[in-house]
Amino acid sequence: MLATKDLDQFRQQVRHFVADQLPNDLRQTVHQGQMPTRVQLHDWHARLAAAGVLVPHWPAEWGGRGWTVAQQMVFDEEMALGGAPELNAITFDMIGPVLMRFGSPAQQQRFLPTIATGQQWWCQGYSEPNAGSDLAGLATRAERDGQDYLVNGSKIWTSYAQYADWIFVLVRTDRAGKPQEGISFLLIEMNTPGISVRPIVGIHGWPVFCEVFFDNVRVPVDQRVGEEDKGWTVAKSLLEFERLKLARIGENKRRMARVRDIALSRTRGGRRVADMPWFRERFAELESRLIALEANAARFVARQAAGERLGAEVSMLKMRGSRLIQLWEELIVDALGPEAMPLSQEWLEGKAGATLQDPLAGTASSRRFLARGYTIAGGTSEIQHNIMAKQVLAL
């Protein structure tokens, strides 16, 4: 693990890199709280890949630099504070490491070099209409047909499936035994016949989530990761790393800075919002929560660096981090007041006669509504409380 001094120097290097390399149009898009386009993200991925920092936490043999978790979290934080968009964690932090750990040599050679270029987009097929965070209850089935599986069923809340090239899917291959058994982990190309995608426009007005339908989709057996009926093991390993990343320290700090800027630039009754007691109290509380979250995350990073395997208790980072993002977004809306009322799409299309001081206000309500999903994505907080109660507190 890097010494504190070395990590501070590393932070400065990342900060300068983001300032020099992030395209201005993308920085502006993120600053205004808007959704980057697929073209913008692909261009940014290409820049990061050319600099060797798209997947720096990967081993060198697969195009990475072998960064520690501490370095990766500093990198993510400085990217967020510098105005860069969140990277596609499903592609670079989930399926990549899963293939390194469980994939066959042929699968690794086929996928990892392409993923490392940033030009292959993946989505995650876990949640289903009747089995959200309860993955053991999934019903999408895959039946053997010679050297293929025939996959039938559907997935929901699949983020950005409309842009994805591939999807990794949990399917049921055996209905006997415990619910966690009989699950397999498949890799499926999105242009395979029988797959259809239906974007879901949420209350925020943005097509972030999708339904994905599988109608007799033929998937070669060699696109299964791990053993048949043993996909639960693969899924659990993926979620363990995901929880650590989902503390979202950088994203919380980005929102804290956004709240501060808004409060300093708005007045009510001739008084700055930043000076109003209600705002100061709420801001101080959330800042304290963020400090505590960052300290707790550092504790888990130190444990992992020491070679300790993290258990279910790491879920507390995900629960705290996602809830904190929601609270920041709510404070942004309250600080903006009536400016935050229109949805971004209404403002962008000139509807409702909205007159706003800046584009950031025009996306505030959409971001606040979108943030409601943070305590669902990656495993709902209710399910995570149950997991911690059983596995950590033995209740």
263 lies in the same domain as 380: yes
Query: Is the CB of residue 85 less than 8 Å from the CB of residue 22?
Result: no
- Residue numbers of the domain that contains 138: 122-230
Residue 7's pLDDT is what?
A: 87
Alpha carbon of residue 111 to chain centroid: 20
Q: What is the mean pLDDT of residues 248-271?
A: 92
Query: Is the CB of residue 324 less than 8 Å from the CB of residue 290?
Result: yes
| Domain C-terminal end among 230, 254, 272 | 230
Domain membership of residue 374 (yes or no) is yes
137 lies in the same domain as 10: no
Q: How would DSSP label each residue in 104-143?
A: -HHHHHHHHHHHHHT---EEEE--BTTBSS-GGG---EEE
Residue 281: count other Cβ atoms within 10 Å of its Cβ.
10
CATH number assigned to the domain comprising residue 51:
1.10.540.10
198 lies in the same domain as 276: no
Query: Is the CB of residue 108 less than 8 Å from the CB of residue 99?
Result: yes
| Domain C-terminal end among 176, 197, 230 | 230
384 lies in the same domain as 250: yes
Using one digit for the tens of pLDDT, what is the confidence trace for 56-85? 989 999 989 988 888 888 999 999 999 999
252 lies in the same domain as 387: yes
Maximum Cα–Cα distance across the chain: 75
Domain membership of residue 314 (yes or no) is yes
- Catalytic positions, please? 242
Rg of the chain's alpha carbons, rounded to an integer? 22
252 lies in the same domain as 384: yes
Residue 301's pLDDT is what?
A: 83
CATH number assigned to the domain comprising residue 330:
1.20.140.10
* For helices 315-336 and 249-265, angle between their N-to-C axes, nearest 10 degrees: 10
| Domain C-terminal end among 205, 230, 255 | 230
148-162, 198-212, 297-311 — which one is most confidently predicted on average? 148-162
CATH number assigned to the domain comprising residue 139:
2.40.110.10
Using one digit for the tens of pLDDT, what is the confidence trace for 293-329? 999 988 888 887 788 877 778 888 888 999 999 999 9
73 lies in the same domain as 130: no
Domain membership of residue 175 (yes or no) is yes
Number of domains in the chain: 3
Domain membership of residue 105 (yes or no) is no
Residue 391's pLDDT is what?
A: 83
Amino acid (1-letter code) at residue 36: P
373 lies in the same domain as 276: yes
